[in-house]
A and B are shown apart, each in its own frame.
Chain A
């Protein structure tokens, strides 16, 4: 059973605000999704542990130093920046 407290807790972990007025409807929605997810618990898994799709092995590249992305280019997308850094204000 998903409770209002569960939703408040996972919203905090997810760094999302859930408006007080939406809490009940969201709890109900999440309960339905969890019930849907619960259907897997009726299934017996015969296979062993599985951790990698397609049994792919990592396609490593050579450990060579390559050029990094230029700082000024990266900062162009930042909402705020100062002195080659991302700027985060305490309040706005």
Chain B
């Protein structure tokens, strides 16, 4: 099976936020929750770069390591998913995540956060694929339909890449070699313990 990853080529990202919008729409993500976001570094300064970031589906996912109820699991495609039925909304995964991926319906004291929500790599959850129950909790399951995550699929500059880690790394490497520069595979070191060497 493929080892699915995200790679955002920040030298192509134009901060259009279409990935954010597409994600919210595709999965009917509740108000206040953003599974994906675009962060601009050095905003307004020469050489600013924007990076689209969501759950990176880490190797040895730290969220899974700290979860008191063990609600995370990794699929055959190395996608990190979780069960909202088991989640108790303790917030530990938020503090463990290097990317701020876990989101909660409520920001409350006394741990009243509600069930955690995060990027599913458009792969749904533990419910049966492409069922109503799965859709309500986790959004659509494009992977089960043979499609890649929508955010990357509709990226107008093809900045955001999703797919097998080796393949998207090759694409990025080729781009960097061709154009002569690249600001790096953002987050790869924290997520996968390696980066794309060019």
Same complex origin of A and B = no
